[in-house]
Structure 1
């Protein structure tokens, strides 16, 4: 019998301090050359062991081998200028120095495939691998070439599809596309965002997920959340179209936010990664708090469709806090498993 409430993380986990600056996004590497390659592999082994030790069921690389969840993929494509960066507003919230599109984009070589093969060789557990979603990629650079968000997103989606097919062949069980931009550009999601995702996942036989959150626990995001009012209803505008899509799993933010959980009923038939861990606080949830979020989700979704998860990535947190949150996630899921089996 398949385990109820299989747990996972949304993506990133903190890197060891000998690899990169702790609790920092876009942190530069502290090693180089062959030492960096070995250091990334060591960090990947550590983050895997910490997930397994905590009782996480669907494991990931914790994004140990990439500097950032979006730009590491982009910088491996042709047509991208990383030398002459420009400052842009990301998701209408904060400024970042980003690469530019100066010619036709295409994937020349695998980006994460070797890392995925390495992870696959270390564990027998199901593996989830996160890739940036096309819309979020478009929003994390400046475009001097296409000057058309939809056209560029479709080109990115083709490159993602090539990568995803090789990740699947490397033994990845779930490929997740990270689309925090889906909570900002709501009209675009329905007009072309989901269509771009369908291009990115075309031909895959492994399960696919889309992760839609309110962002890392950084000040720009927490400040933005304060402007969103008493109820965050962004998901209502996009979930009906996502429900009709061929994506298997939808990952969303539930704990400590203001998302009314009845939005889960808009995803009928989909598996749902229910965010039961707040990544915007250093307070470690109790297992009972995690269980309460899962019980609330059970009012709107079937038990066999609920996959407890973190709200977002945990790269900006300390390793101790992230470790504590992973243990709470697994323990909270176990509480509700026992309740249902009784």
Structure 2
């Protein structure tokens, strides 16, 4: 049975305090060796149960087995030296010390496929897996080898495609590529970013999604948002080309964002993951607030193409707050389902 308004998260959920330091990105693991492997699986099972109890329809792993949504994938590739670090500006927002591309990049073995199999074994519900998009990957590195953002993006797209095909074979129903860089580098996104994204998704029979947000609720991002004015029209730059792309689902930030809701009209025909939960605030939405965001979105997207979600990942939040927000998302979607049915 196909459920109307299937809910999901944009990706990450907070890790339990026994696995990693809470409310922190790039938090070091508290376990090691076999204990760490078991701990990650326990955390993944907890994340699945938290989603199930909140009535979330499309279940993710909460990114419990990785430290960071981009870096963990890159760590498993050859050609990148994590000891050799350079300071670069990330998404034109903040400086970070990043690893260096020192040679041809390759994927010696699958990165997340075992974890995805483990997730698949935990639930009969549809499952979604998140991967970093090619453009966001290149924005998190210093490139001393290809010396071309575009060339490196195409190389990453090929490696992502290898991974995505194996994730699909492991039973993943939706593969989502995270591309927050699309909200910053508009010319590059349109010139080759969307094309490299399509390369990453090439040949997949499962559904594909691209998640474009304004970032986690960390200070660098919230400070940047304050500079964007009363209307955020970044989506307007890339949506027309994404509408023509082969990607099935487009995920965007809606609740408490200043992105005008009518920009969704630019992707008419696509399925839309509407962010109805603000991840940059500890205030837990009410189900009615979630329902209101979804009702407004329904002016621009057909009900059978609306996927209620969170604005972004919830890794930096406390587990209590994240659980409250998940519950609100599940309950808010249920309110609107009943209204549509009536």
TM over 0.5: yes
**Which residue does the alignment assign to 1:339?**
339
| Cα distance in structure 2, aligned partners of 1:126 and 1:340 | 23
Shift of 1:98: 1.4
- For 1:291, what is the secondary structure of its paired residue? helix
| Cα distance in structure 2, aligned partners of 1:22 and 1:85 | 26
| Cα distance in structure 2, aligned partners of 1:134 and 1:233 | 23
| Cα distance in structure 2, aligned partners of 1:147 and 1:229 | 34
- For 1:64, what is the secondary structure of its paired residue? coil
Q: What is the 5 A alignment of 1:160-171?
A: 160-171=160-171
- For 2:10, what is the secondary structure of its paired residue? coil
| Cα distance in structure 1, aligned partners of 2:86 and 2:52 | 40
**Which residue does the alignment assign to 2:184?**
184
Q: Is residue 237 of structure 2 the alignment partner of residue 233 of structure 1?
A: no
| Cα distance in structure 1, aligned partners of 2:115 and 2:96 | 27
Structure 1's unaligned 5+ residue stretches are none
Q: What is the 5 A alignment of 1:1-342?
A: 1-342=1-342
- For 2:196, what is the secondary structure of its paired residue? helix
Shift of 1:27: 0.7
Shift of 1:97: 2.0
Shift of 1:2: 2.0
Shift of 1:293: 0.3
| Cα distance in structure 1, aligned partners of 2:125 and 2:246 | 25
Shift of 1:164: 0.2
Shift of 1:96: 1.8
Shift of 1:203: 0.7
| Cα distance in structure 1, aligned partners of 2:38 and 2:98 | 27
Shift >3 Å, 4+ stretches = none
Deviation readout 1:221-244 (Å, 9 max, x if unpaired): 000000001100000110000000
Give the TM-score, by structure 1 length.
0.99
Deviation readout 1:56-91 (Å, 9 max, x if unpaired): 000000000001000000111110001122222110
RMSD between aligned residues: 0.6
Deviation readout 1:233-283 (Å, 9 max, x if unpaired): 000110000000000000000000101010101111100000000000000
